[in-house]
Amino acid sequence: MSDEQPTQRYRATVEYDGTPYKGFQRQANGHSVQQAIEEAIYSLCGADVRLTAAGRTDTGVHALAQVIHFDIPAGKTPFRVMEALNALLVQANERVAFLDCETVGNDFSARFSATGRRYLYRIINRRAPLTVERERAWWIRKGLLDVDRMNEGAKRLLGTHDFTTFRAADCQAKSPIRTLDELWAERIDEHEIHIHAAARSFLHNQVRSLAGSLKLVGDGKWSADDLKQALEAMDRKACGPVAPAHGLYLSAVSYRSAEGASQPN
């Protein structure tokens, strides 16, 4: 952008249906959530921006509350930016929406200022294939998952560990050490189970790897101690089958209260 035009940083919460996208991040081949939003921003103000997001969700993964920031020429109220971008996204038939938008200081980063990420993993456990909820939840056809067993296992993974077992082979993070603050399963109704996971940050495929291994505990193939041993193996091969992308939702990102607050403009 030109040096002459002052810019303003905006922070926004966005929701998306991950089904039609090759993940959040821009790709050489295939449409991404990032591209959808950046094209809407370009339509709005002619600024060819690169936005920053709290989490890079994979192909098919959804977000209920992804957080992004971007810098555009100053002057528009955050409300107008949100409304205009939502109208442009609808017009472009994108499945992405801005839930809120505010101005922030240039020291705020959606990615580096984040102090916590939270994911939801939806399982529907029934004989019948999914219809209305297809691409929205993991269909587990056989058996009835035991949520108490899943929680027995999940407890053993809390805290700071080397999560090598539960990260993708192509994970780019320098360290496999992460601190898992929350991991628990909840029965929503006769058929639906939610797994909740919270940490400052996650490794690539960590939540799906944890969900897939917890499923093995839930259906009795693994004991809670087997899950602990899988962790301690620090070996990708010890992981259960990775749960499918379409059950996963980035559900919240947290920041220290001072950061990301509205700035007078």
Query: Is 58 marked active-site?
Result: yes
SS3 content of the chain, % helix, strand, coil (to 5): 25, 30, 45
Give 42-110 as a DSSP string.
Answer: HHHH------EES--PPTT-EEEEEEEEEEEETTS-HHHHHHHHHHHHHHTT-SEEEEEEEEE-TT--T
Q: Which of 3, 48, 58, 181 is catalytic?
A: 58
- Angle subtended at Cα 252 by Cα 251 and Cα 257, rounded to the nearest 5 degrees: 170
Site string for its own copies, 26-65 (x = CB under 8 A): ------------------------------------x-x-
132 lies in the binding site for its own copies (CB under 8 A): yes
Q: Per CB under 8 A, which region of 12-20, 47-55, 105-113, 223-231 contacts its own copies?
A: 12-20
Q: Which of 127, 142, 174, 237 binds its own copies (CB under 8 A)?
A: 127
227 or 248, CB closer to its own copies?
A: 248
Q: Which of 30, 46, 75, 90 binds its own copies (CB under 8 A)?
A: 90
**CA–CA separation, 206 vs 56, rounded Å?**
12
CB 200 within 8 A of CB 179: yes
Query: Site size for its own copies, by CB under 8 A?
Result: 22
Enumerate the known binding-site residues for substrate.
119
Residues at the interface with its own copies (CB under 8 A) = 15-17, 62, 64, 83, 86, 89-90, 95-99, 127-132, 134, 136
